[in-house]
Amino acid sequence: MRSMRVLWGAAVVSAVCVSPVVFAADADEGGLQEVVVTAQRFNSTVQDTPISLSAITGAQLDAAGITSVEGLAHEVPGLSMRSAGPGQTEYEARGLASSGGSAPTVGFYLDDVPLSPPATSQTGKVVIDPNLYDVDRIELLRGPQGTLYGSGSMGGTVRVITNQPKLDTFEGSVQGTLSDTQGGGANGGGNLMVNLPFGDTLAARLVLTDTYRSGWIDRIALNPFPLDAGTSTGRGNVLAAPVQSVFKNVNTEHLDGGRFTVLFKPNDDFNVVTTVLYQHMGMGGYDEFDDPPGSHYLAHYEAGNQGETVDDWFHYYSIEATLNLSFADLTSTSGYFQRHELQTQDASESISFFAGIYPYQTLPFSEVDITRQFSQELRLTSRGDGALHWVAGVFFSDDSSDWDEYALTSNPDFASTDPNTNGVIYSGDQYYRVRQTAGFVDGSYAFTDQWKFSTGVRYYHYSSTTNVFGVGVFAPTPDGSTFVDSVASSGLNPRFNLSYSPNGDLNTYLSASKGYRPGGPSYGPFPQLNCGGGTPPPYKSDSIWDYEVGEKAKLFDNWLTINSDVYYIKWSNVQETVAVPCGYTFEANAGDGRSYGPEVEVNAKLSSNWSLAASASYTNAQINHPSSTFIAAVLTNPVLGGIPGCESASHCSLPILNVPKEAASLSLIYTQPVLSDDTLTARVTDNFTGHSFDQDYQFGVSLPSYNLASGRLGLSSDKWTATLFIDNITNKVAELASNNTQFQFNIPQMSRISTNQPRTFGTEVNYKF
């Protein structure tokens, strides 16, 4: 199968060529390209929309070589991420980390359907990694969005908006990619799109994808696995231990899937769009290396040969119907998806360390996470180009997450801890369900040609229920026990925005908005072994007030745009994950926090040939008033030396995890007509991500800053395009996160650090028909 995918990519490469599209500017003598968005539920350009917003079209994504939302996170200000590779990424905006709680801080939409991540999986609030081939655009809205989007979001919203079927038009495109990763191997794959009209009222659009990425992380089995020389417990020097076997480049990835959309439009006043999407992502291992020994070795060391495969299946169905009522459009959006994740990890070190049973032996620990969501939104959106625009609607969602864990051993030493466990280290089933109901209204009124005021409010009610069963050596009761808990809450979230536009080239605004995130029930008692017993309490909703002032300016006949803002966020009852000394974690309210900083985007057409795109942000995010219970839990681990500003329980200001203080991106693009109708385009990009903190066994693991540079050179004609590219030019090994896939137990001797793909050379080709 791998050879077939590589050959498919090679076949398309040998047959076709690529057209790069300038990221910041049109290729003609006009000004910069204006991107039309629907962020406020009606058509407007980015420059005319008085909120903090970034938008990138599908053509611009292709030109920049961005194939995933994870790649986009480096290009836009205010968006950060915590990732362990494809399908294992959670997103944060403006310093509002998603590491705690059961809900993300950033809403993620595919068209108009929210895609909620798993509620309880310890891999994090990770969303799917959707294929970005044939998308119309991606919009990133910073700040709370509950008055415009029924699902609500506390820190921001990412919208992936796909291309819809076209009536009376037959068209298609094909893309092939072939590349090679340094220290890894060949990568290849392709995408196909076909638009099929059926008469004047019906059309269908089909998108297919099949891609393969080679790995670069080794799995090394040691025999015997070394113990620490000083304590005879825990990890010793793995570099000096006898190597039993080496499995090269295990973290391969294969993604295949398809999207099928049907448009039925019997007249200009009514249409129905139905979408079905299937996607499967399979990995041979995680994009993680062990520390120690560190990034120089890019390997995971085991006591045996335990594969760590990841499989992620996603099924999605939606129906959107729109009816013109003359004064407004009535839109009904129904969505359902099921996501099934299956992962297995090597738990030999963590289980032996906390049980005190040596020598190490192979011990697989498996997780199955099935997430289901049904959502329904019904909204009215005003029509016309008058001074008043408004949106009103209701929303309902029913999310469930069924998280199962299982580990079994034949080691007789574990039976001595409790003979009734029959070799079961832990078997748990945690069912989590969240139901949300909301009503929202938002309106804007231009009371002069220059001044506009908008406001809105969202009412919400949610209820969360959990049912946990556990049995085994590490269960609260080895013979089996069940724990049930539930919480519920409701409230109002308002929004206010005042904008002033003295002319068509300047738009300024001042806004204040409130957002929230649901709280959750307790996850049940701690495991039996050395966690001390007890049950963590439920955690409350957290909420923010986001205050910001911003501007959007067009200069020199729209050859230069500067969009910037400064925000201050007050965060109450911050939800955070607490790691305790027994390797277990629980969710808690860590206290109150704040985040502030500037964000700026600059696009410039320097000449008819040269253009530039740049962005930067500074984020100062802290829990500046931590709760006494949270500090007490954190201080039970020896971590004070790793957290600047936290010298004692009475004087402690903790960093918000997974948030880099500084981030910047710079792209320089050159275009030149060649031959008769062809265009040569060159592009170089450098992305900088600043220092941040994460946690594994300890709170406050330091992750250093890094730069990732890339380059592209392409030749385009009317239908054929061809591009040569190099990603990660300097072959930088970046540390993206620590232990964010750890669904067993954290240990003090070793972290697993997520990293990026090494230097990769390749070619990408497209043909349109």
Residue 120 binned pLDDT confidence (cut-offs 50, 70, 90)? low
Residue 649 binned pLDDT confidence (cut-offs 50, 70, 90)? low
Average pLDDT, the chain: 87
Question: Bigger pLDDT: 124 or 402?
Answer: 402
On the question of pLDDT at 425 being above 50, the answer is yes
On the question of pLDDT at 578 being above 60, the answer is yes
* pLDDT, mean of residues 665-683: 93
**Residues facing residue 749 across a β-bridge:** none
ω into residue 673 within 30 of 0, thus cis?
A: no
Distance (Å, whole) CA 336 – CA 12: 35
CB atoms within 10 A of CB 648: 9
Instruction: Please count the structural domains in the chain.
Output: 1
**What SS3 string covers 198-249?**
ECCCEEEEEEEEEEEECCCCEEEEECCCCECCCCCCCECCHHHCCEEEEECC
pLDDT at res. 704: 95
User: If residue 192 lies in a helix (H) or strand (E), which one and from where to where?
Assistant: strand 186-198
- What confidence tens digit (pLDDT) does each residue in 317-337 have? 999 999 999 999 999 999 999
Distance (Å, whole) CA 362 – CA 302: 8
pLDDT at res. 740: 74
CATH number of the domain to which 129 belongs: 2.40.170.20
Question: Bigger pLDDT: 580 or 612?
Answer: 612
Residue 530 binned pLDDT confidence (cut-offs 50, 70, 90)? low
pLDDT at res. 699: 75
On the question of pLDDT at 142 being above 70, the answer is yes
DSSP 539: B
Tell me what percent of the residues of the chain surpass a pLDDT of 70.
Answer: 91
On the question of pLDDT at 150 being above 70, the answer is no
- DSSP strands (E only) in 590-733: 591-605, 610-618, 620-626, 646-648, 651-652, 654-655, 662-674, 678-689, 692-695, 699-703, 706-716, 720-727
Q: In this predicted structure, which of 72-86, 325-339, 394-408 has the lowest mean pLDDT?
A: 72-86
- What confidence tens digit (pLDDT) does each residue in 550-571 have? 999 999 999 999 999 999 999 9
pTM for the full predicted model: 0.90
* pLDDT, mean of residues 161-178: 96
- Range of the structural domain that residue 105 is part of: 2-768
pLDDT at res. 645: 57
Question: Bigger pLDDT: 234 or 326?
Answer: 326
Distance (Å, whole) CA 256 – CA 192: 12
C-alpha 417 chain-centroid distance: 41
- What confidence tens digit (pLDDT) does each residue in 456-475 have? 999 999 999 999 998 888 88
CB atoms within 10 A of CB 384: 11
Please state whether 608 falls in left (phi above 0), alpha (psi between -120 and 50) or beta: alpha
- DSSP strands (E only) in 556-590: 560-572, 575-579, 585-589
**Residue entry with tokens 């599209």:** 21
Residue 18 binned pLDDT confidence (cut-offs 50, 70, 90)? very low
At position 395, the amino acid (one-letter code) is: F
**Residue entry with tokens 């398309």:** 12
Phi, psi (deg, nearest 5) at residue 645: 90, 5
Residue 22 binned pLDDT confidence (cut-offs 50, 70, 90)? very low
Residue 650 binned pLDDT confidence (cut-offs 50, 70, 90)? low
On the question of pLDDT at 687 being above 50, the answer is yes
- What confidence tens digit (pLDDT) does each residue in 712-762 have? 999 999 899 999 999 999 999 999 988 877 777 788 888 999 999 999 999
Query: Environment class of residue 144 by beta-carbon count within 10 Å: exposed (0-12), middle (13-18) or buried (19+)?
Result: buried
- What confidence tens digit (pLDDT) does each residue in 250-273 have? 999 999 999 999 999 999 999 999
* pLDDT, mean of residues 646-653: 64
Query: Environment class of residue 769 by beta-carbon count within 10 Å: exposed (0-12), middle (13-18) or buried (19+)?
Result: exposed
Name the nearest CA neighbour of 155 among 498, 516, 453.
Answer: 516
Give the β-pairing of 106-110 and 156-162: parallel
**What SS3 string covers 121-184?**
CCCCCCECCCCCCCEEEEEEEECCCCCCCCCCCCCEEEEEEECCCCCCCCEEEEEEEEEEECCC
Name the nearest CA neighbour of 192 among 205, 177, 173.
Answer: 173
Q: Are 312 and 340 in contact (CB under 8 A)?
A: yes
